[in-house]
Structure 1
Amino acid sequence: MKIRTTKKTSTTKRRARRRGPLATVGLLAVGLAVTGGGYAAVAQIGANDTEATATVTQSTVDEGQKLFQANCATCHGLNLQGTDAGPSLVGVGAASVDFQVGTGRMPMQTQGPQAQVKTVQFTDDQISALAAYVASVGSGPEIPDVEDEVDATDADKVSNGAELFRVNCAMCHNVAGAGGALTEGKYAPSLMGVTSTHIYEAMITGPQNMPVFNDTNVTPEEKAEIISYLKYVETNSSPGGFDLGSIGPVAEGLFIWIIGLGAVIGFTVWLGSRAN
């Protein structure tokens, strides 16, 4: 009985020490130290990442500003405010710069009814820097990421896109996206060979004479469907044979009357001369 009492007393003392106020305080201190240390480490990593991103962004903006002042400020002003030779770029957004510069339309070689497509004069990094600088001055549409949404093999997307294109775009760009003439020396360019990103940017920025199709008029999904249709037309040949540039029935009719009938008449005259 004495041995059992001693063991019971020893066990009770150990439990008492474990539950004592000092033990509780110690456990809380250890828990706080571990939690605080972990939070500080994560916060420091996040701060380092943010600082690095900010440095890259500011560096890109600075590089874009230098490029702008050297190549664009003559027409658009040192502060993007615009001049008599070019409009203000405040608020046009990165997407507008990426489209205009990325397709070679800007800088313009000569003044005219509209900017002509030509060889791109800047690298991709320089275009990104110019876009970042313009976007830093005034907010506007950002460069879209649409490549994954475009699928020229999806029958539903192509079908829906064809209907949307016919209703919203075909009156200027032709039902096959081949382009067409407008007034005062202006024209709607061909959409064949144009990247999906640039087509999307044109819809949200409205370059030249093109209206802006915001997300209320044409949703992002519908824009991707329109591009899917254009990419389908681009990658599939005309089922009727030579498409004559896909510029419509008037051109095809003129071809038949002038070239076709002219060939028939010429062949008839040749046969008559041979008979004589």
Structure 2
Amino acid sequence: MDSPPAQQPLPLPSEPPREPILNLPGALTAYVALLAVIHLRVLLPPDLEYWTIEVFGFIPKRYDATLLAAPFPGGTGAKVWTFVTYSLLHANLSHIIFNVLWLLPFGSAVARRFGTARFFLFMAVTAIAGAFAHLVTHEHEIAPMIGASASVSGAMAAAIRFAFARGGFLSLRRGDADAAARVPAQPLTRALRDPRVLAFLGIWFGINIIFGIGSIAVGNEGASVAWQAHIGGFFAGLLLFSLFDPVPRRVPAPAEPN
């Protein structure tokens, strides 16, 4: 008499994969790491540390064409690269932490959507827009402006173009992070009619105009807030988003003939 076949052990239920607590896209991780490495310049002797601000910070007086124009370290080259490099410098640890904390939720979504190359180019373009806004409103200013807040503001503006769409990371119906970052964006005219977007814009502009939180201009008399640069970066992110967005727009289905 044959013995009964041995019972096979029942498979154990597989545990659902655990999401990392801080699951940042590679592009944003690289950007934050770049800011952190550059911030190590604060360990330099004070004279050399401030020299890095003069060479790589954005100084409106550098573009003064009058006879009273003062020479600055960096020469002609600094008139070009400081439109971007100022955004990689920070005054102190609290300054860089503040910018990174704002960047984590919004920059993550934008970095997932754009990919590395587009994300870094976008951050550079919004930094340039912030520098132009600061230059127009601070002509002849000698205090260097530093800080990533213009780029952070641009990332926030880009994010709201798709954040409130169905399935977006600020909508009530959310999927995983990658899917939420790839939902089709709203047209700008429709986004500006969304009450949630308008409420976000009102709060953001109110904070920046009234309190001036963010980017810092370092001068001899202390620090002041370069809130105009935030607004320049924000408008650039809002208006130029479509030039960087690789996700196709949702095309409405054609209406059937009666």
Q: TM-score range by the shorter chain?
A: under 0.3
The structure, 1 or 2, with the larger RCO (C-alpha pairs under 8 Å, 6+ apart) is 2
Specify which structure has the higher proportion of helix: 1
TM-score w.r.t. structure 2 length? 0.23
TM-score w.r.t. structure 1 length? 0.22
Larger Rg: 1
